[in-house]
Copies of this chain bind each other. A is one copy, B any other.
Amino acid sequence: MNQKNTIGIVKSKQFKSVSPLVLQNGETLDEYELTYETYGTLSKKKDNAILVCHALSGDHHLAGKYTKKDKYPGWWDTLIGPNKPLNTNKFFVIGVNNLGGCSGSTGPKTINKKTKAPWGAKFPIVTVEDWVNSQNALLDNLGITQLAGVLGGSLGGMQALQWAIQFPNKIRHAIVIASAPNLTAQNIAFNEVARQSIITDPDFNKGNYYQNHTKPKRGLRIARMLGHITYLSDDVMGTKFGRKLTNNKIGYNLKTEFEIESYLNYQGDKFAKEFDANTYLRMTKALDYFDPGNGKIKQLSKVFKKIKAKFLVISFSSDWRFTSERSKSIVKALLDNNVEVSYADIAAASGHDAFLMSNPKYHSILETYFQKLLRKS
């Protein structure tokens, strides 16, 4: 058996647009950049490329480290690497920071060349469709005319799905994990509370906070704490934290007392330092807007008529943010159109976060699928 290795030291690259991008909101971005990373080697036929799309707070750094000193590798390092389920000895894997992001791609904190100031509030609200168009421009630049597959979890899964709709001839496989054909009212509700906590932070300054050298850290912190609750299942929170106290006794004050509080505050603080609030707002809006079937199951089946890709759909039993039922509605609409689809509902306790973890059954399904994909392509 081959040894599984990390990809080692990696370096991100910059793609500069060669033509303007017309956005769904009607605006046009005259120029933009996308930060991306690639792993493995593009085949001579350029037919082994897998695009990996990120979720709400992800980025292009999927695997490996930038320096040996880095504490953590890329966010999907357990999945992607030499002889890993997504085997970089066989596939050419691409990670892109989405347009509007804050990890290198053009976004709200980027300097707008026209005004010589950060875009801030004026950076458009981009959509999943816009991302797919911009990713397509990058692929054109790399000379890739057809992707072996697009893979993504959560919001990343929505991008994989949209790729199959938007460019049916340019994608052979879509791997849609812990995702949904649109958000439910409850999903939108959580996003709105996150947004309101950012927007009403006095340091938000209507989105133009870069000039003041401030950041709406308080709001972003609350948004992230809330996010983390929805990423975990009630059960796994019970097992991990339960009612454990950090200090063994109740203090009858408003300080952090339970371990779960400590965990959330830590996550919130960390995120508020690293991430950009304007990007967070835009990512949640892209989630809210995504709705290829316009809220109707029948309409979804109609839209799926044009799909030519084959599908792997995966959900997790304890994911209450994007339930298994939501994945099944994607599968149903695919089957309505005789699309070849494999579906697995993985028994996992970790909730929505399960898609980032290396559950053996989950990873073995992905590995098998990628091997099959290799044989066919």
Contacts and interface: CB of A to CB of B under 8 A. Distances in A.
Contacts of A258: 185, 188, 192, 288
Contacts of A201: 218
Interface in A62-77: none
Interface in A324-366: none
Interface stretch (A109-117, A144-152, A246-254): A246-254
A124 B196 CA distance: 30
Interface in A256-304: 256-258, 260-261, 264-265, 268, 281, 285, 288-289, 291, 295
Interface string A21-53: 000111000000000000000000000000000
A222 B238 contact: no
Contacts of A26: 252
Nearest to A26: B252
Interface in A158-202: 182-186, 188-190, 192-193, 195-197, 199-202
B185 A265 contact: no
A264 B193 contact: yes
A189 B265 contact: no
B250 A184 contact: no
Given A200-B221, A218-B200, A221-B196, A295 B242 contact: yes
A288 B254 CA distance: 11
Pick the most buried of A197, A202, A207: most chain B CB atoms within 10 A of its CB: A197
A193 B225 contact: yes
Pick the most buried of A182, A242, A243, A261: most chain B CB atoms within 10 A of its CB: A243
Contacts of A192: 225, 256, 258, 260-261, 264-265
A140 to B, nearest CB: 26
Contact of A252 (B124, B190, B218, B226): B124
A183 B225 contact: no
A196 B220 CA distance: 12
Contacts of A253: 125
A376 interface: no
A286 to B, nearest CB: 10
B261 A188 contact: yes
A10 interface: no
Pick the most buried of A182, A234, A253, A256: most chain B CB atoms within 10 A of its CB: A234
Interface string A110-139: 000000000000001100000000000000
B254 A188 contact: no
A257 to B, nearest CB: 8
Contacts of A210: none
Given A197-B197, A201-B218, A258-B288, 17 more contacts: A124-B252, A125-B254, A185-B238, A185-B240, A185-B242, A185-B258, A186-B234, A188-B243, A188-B260, A189-B229, A192-B260, A193-B229, A193-B264, A200-B221, A202-B202, A226-B226, A257-B288
26 contacts: A25-B252, A26-B252, A125-B254, A184-B237, A185-B241, A185-B243, A185-B258, A186-B229, A188-B260, A188-B261, A189-B228, A189-B229, A189-B260, A189-B261, A192-B225, A192-B260, A193-B225, A193-B226, A196-B222, A196-B225, A200-B218, A200-B222, A243-B295, A250-B289, A257-B288, A320-B320
In the A-B complex, the 4 residue pairs with the closest CB atoms: A25-B252, A185-B237, A185-B241, A192-B261
